A and B are shown apart, each in its own frame.
Chain A
Amino acid sequence: MFDFAMLAQGVATLAASPMALVMAAIGVVIGIFIGAMPGLTATMGVAILLPFTFGMDPLPGLLLICGVFFGGVYGGSVTAILLKIPGTPAAAATAMDGYALTEKGQASLALGTATVSSFLGGTGSVLVLIFLAPVLARFALNFSAPESFALAVFGLSIISSISGSSPVKGLIAGMLGLLVATIGLDPMGGFPRFTFGFPDLYEVPFIPVMIGLFAAAEAFKTMEDPARRLGQAARLGRLLPPWEKLRGVLPTIGRSTGLGVLMGMIPGAGADVAAFVSYNEAKRFSRNPENFGKGELSGVAACESGANACTGGALLTMLTLGIPGDAVTAIMLGALTLQGLQPGPLLFQQHADLVFTLFAGMVFCYVAMLILGLGLMRVMGNVLRVPTALLTPTILVLCMVGTYALNNSMFDVGVMLVAGVAGYFMQKYGFPASPVVLALIMGPMAEANFRRALSLSNGSLDFLWTRPITVALLALALLTLFLPLLRWLWQARRGGGSARHSA
């Protein structure tokens, strides 16, 4: 069973290594900054810092990377809430309700809740990692192509719950996303589709499109009225959200943490999938789902706790099996190998002392994130006081620099600007942007895994109904897609078309 002595030993070792603690805190700060910048992702931050850790001892080096990873996932929410600029794909989910709260003048409440939810979700997932790692170790192996396909279909069905006031426009936006997702190399055969001879289009330029749709489009919109300021929102109130508000979202945080850990463990699904799935489930379980998209606090809490809980899940699979759950842990796998630690079944036997010290360090990273996050918010909140005439050009420059930095490619900057113009008109005519982002995440995942599943079964479609996880996820997808319709029909019959009788 679980060895508490090892954990206590780990905490003691950690407390005795100030260098490791400092590195963890530095990592968190760098991570928050990187996450907050559009285009700079946690993956990139970890990759850039990796060479710096070569010369360090294993513990400070690995904690620096963990700090960047955790901070990067959280940092995306800050600009998403304040400016509707999601720094990371996961924060695109946070932006839906977070920015709506800012517009209502509740920026500090949204930021505080996001920070506390990130902390609780992340810490919860590390605790799962510490206590349940051996139990859950082999879970990821049950996930093959059919299951990943079903998960992606479920993810796509979430479009129906993030479409805002007009489900039809949401579906149109989702279809647009799916169309854009077909651009690039066909995931199985490797044939170029709609690339028009540009090798730059071999992979869907996902992050440039997202930055364009959200950040650039928002910047274009503010140009309509340069005198506009977020006025009342500029006043940041108390940072720690009041207990009565927090208590209301605790069940959501708990549920989202579980979902986040699960999504983290599944290979191929990361913080972005976790954030959207958590949002969807929060809405499903909510007593007032109609508030979602209009500034519902539990929407913010769900996305942030889900996205951050992903970290523990991804680390669990990576450390116990040597299988990276997402791009960041793939790089961390390399970092561990370079330190002479081979992740996998043998790691816990051969380096148990270091592993448990690392676990203690991860919890420390999250505590540091809570404190630094709440502290940095004061500074970052000042962004809202900047006049639009200065803020808008700055945002556009950041969008361009961030996009360029992604692949060192001017082509991507062009893609971002085109997406920005498209996003501007979408916003003007009431088409939501988040279904496009969701379709871009899930579309390629669904297609590749469907075709891979067919290939694995030699062309038989039996996998659709013979595998329990696949069946369950597909059923959930159908339910998610048609529940709003059924609810609407039911209400129409009972209340003669009035929506006042909501359950």
Chain B
Amino acid sequence: MDRRSFTFSALGAMAALPLGGRAMAASYPSRTIEMIVPYSAGGGTDLVARAFADIANESLPKAIGVVNRTGGGGAVGLTGIARARPNGYTIGLGTAEITMLPHMGMASFKATDFTAIAQLNADPSAITVKADAPWQTLEEFIAHAKENPGTVRIGNSGTGAIWHLAAEAFGKDVGATFNHIPFEGAAPAVTALLGGHIEAVSVSPAEVSNFVAAGELRMLGVMADERVAAFPEVETFKEQGIELSVGTWRGVLVPNGLPDDALAALREVAATAGQSEAFKAQLAKMNLNHAYLDADAFQAKIAAQDEFFGELMTELGMAR
């Protein structure tokens, strides 16, 4: 796709103008579809949503318009998706928080209130330390943490956020006690690590990639099933003998009870757009890990994660 047409499709998506395109057989959609993004414009979730909408709009007779509905650490927008009228004209870009917020008593919805369309992106947690830290491997890091319980400080992006829970799950799994320090997002946590105010961070590889590439930070391992494409030399936790795979994901979600034709149409569009080269290229530019899952696999993942976080939070005393 050339630059000009890309700009124009971006323009179209922003203004939620109907774009010309291949008409679909079914009557859905007959008007503009609103896609709720529970986080602010310009953030990672927003960029995924806009990239997806741009590409999906090429094959939709009526455009998807992205609407940011922020607040409550995502709770406001996610509630908006769960409680939307199930007619297919309000969809949302959901995140891993749908399996976490309900257990903390911070949301009126449950993970089971959503029907999956497709997962678009997933990023694991990674344990990253300063490049001049004494620990070369995850094993050395864990040994140090066990010898000095409570003194190893791991920065995360906020209490109850995915990277906090990843670090908690890590501590529980290896039997070490960490001092978890919440920051207002991943960037301040990484800043504190660079300044030597904490020992490690548990944020995603993308959020530390600049500094790892520049040789200022060292990634000890990623909590994923497979190695991350951007850092093929960093071993997974599983390769290092720790059965742990924790991370965030983003995908298209709708409220339960959508009509079959709308559900089928959305899944078809998501399958095409979500697996297109243009979408993959756009994610790669943003340092985000492309991880497409179809509706069934995605729904199963949500159920499994919901159970995992429910148990973890009960054990940590965070469940309410």
**Interface residues in chain A, defined as those with a beta carbon under 8 Å from any beta carbon in chain B:** 43-44, 46-48, 50-52, 54-56, 140-145, 185, 187-190, 192, 199-200, 202-203, 267-268, 321-324, 330-331, 333-334, 337-338, 340, 342-346, 407-409, 448, 452, 455-456, 458
**Residue pair A143, B41 in contact (C-beta under 8 Å):** no
Are B76 and A52 in contact, with the CB atoms below 8 A? Answer: no
Name the contact of A344 in the complex, choosing from B10, B72, B211 (C-beta under 8 A).
B211
Check A55 against B7 for contact (C-beta < 8 Å): yes
Per-position binary interface string of chain B over residues 1-35, scored 1 when its CB falls under 8 Å from any chain A CB and 0 otherwise: 00110110011011000000000000000000000
Q: When chains A and B are docked, how far (Å) is the Cα of A303 from the Cα of B102?
A: 44
Contact B181 A452 (CB under 8 A): yes
- Shortest distance in angstroms between A272's beta carbon and chain B's nearest beta carbon? 15
B198 within 8 A of A: yes
How many Å lie between the Cα of A72 and that of B46 in the bound state? 22
- Which residues 265-304 in B have Cβ within 8 Å of A in the complex? 285-287
Q: Report the 3 A-B pairs with minimum CB-CB distance, sorted nearest first.
A: A47-B42, A47-B41, A55-B7
Chain B residue numbers with a CB within 8 Å of A333 are: 187
A321 pairs with B194, CB closer than 8 A:
yes
Q: A145-B197, A334-B286 are in contact. Are A54 and B181 (CB under 8 A)?
A: no
Closest residue of chain A to B13 (Cβ to Cβ) is A51
Known A-B contacts A322-B210, A337-B287, A338-B286; A409 and B76 likewise in contact (beta carbons under 8 Å): yes
13 contacts between A and B (CB under 8 A): A51-B14, A51-B50, A55-B10, A189-B159, A192-B106, A322-B210, A334-B44, A338-B285, A345-B214, A346-B213, A408-B69, A409-B76, A455-B179
Q: Which residue of A lies closest to B54 (CB)?
A: A51
Docked complex: B38-89 residues within 8 A CB-CB of A = 40-44, 46-47, 50, 54, 67-73, 75-76, 79
CB distance from A359 to the nearest CB of B (A): 20
| A48 contacts B181, C-beta separation under 8 Å | no
Residues B69 and A331 in contact, CB atoms below 8 Å apart: no
Contact partners of A48 in chain B: CB under 8 A: 14, 41
In this complex, what residue of B is CB-closest to A144?
B197
Contact size range, B: 35 or more
Specify which chain B residues have a CB less than 8 angstroms from the CB of A408 in the assembled complex: 67-69
Q: Is B257 an interface residue (CB 8 A)?
A: no
Closest to A346 in B: B214
- Please tell me if B310 contacts chain A, counting CB pairs below 8 Å: no
Selected contact of B194 from candidates A46, A192, A203, A323, CB within 8 Å: A323
**Across the A-B interface, how many residue pairs have beta carbons closer than 8 Å?**
149
- A141 in contact with B195 given A46-B42, A190-B159, A337-B286 (CB within 8 Å): yes
- Within the complex, the shortest CB–CB distance from A31 to chain B, in Å, comes to 15
> Is B106's CB under 8 angstroms from A202's CB?
yes
A380 to chain B, nearest CB (A): 26
Known A-B contacts A188-B182, A323-B191, A409-B71; A343 and B210 likewise in contact (beta carbons under 8 Å): yes
Whether A322 lies near B71 (C-beta < 8 A) is no
Those of B148-191 within 8 Å (CB) of chain A: 150-151, 153, 158-160, 179, 181-185, 187-188, 190-191
Contact indicator B190/A323 (Cβ below 8 Å): yes
> A203: nearest residue on chain B (CB-CB)?
B71
A205 CB to closest chain B CB (Å) equals 8
Q: How far is the CA of A64 from the CA of B161 in the complex (A)?
A: 33
Q: Does B263 contact A (CB under 8 A)?
A: no
CB pair A143–B184 under 8 Å, yes or no, is no
Residues of A within 8 A of B191 (CB): 140-141, 267, 321, 323
The residue in chain A whose Cβ has the minimal distance to the Cβ of B195 is A141
CB distance from B68 to the nearest CB of A (A): 7
Q: Confirm or deny: B319 has a beta carbon within 8 angstroms of a beta carbon on chain A.
A: no
Q: How far is the CA of A267 from the CA of B13 in the complex (A)?
A: 33
CB proximity of B41 to chain A, nearest CB, Å: 3
Residue B311 at the chain A interface, CB threshold 8 Å = no
Does B262 have its Cβ within 8 Å of any Cβ on chain A?
no
Q: Smallest distance from the beta carbon of B49 to chain A beta carbons, Å?
A: 10
The reply to whether B3 and A56 contact each other, CB–CB distance below 8 Å, is: yes
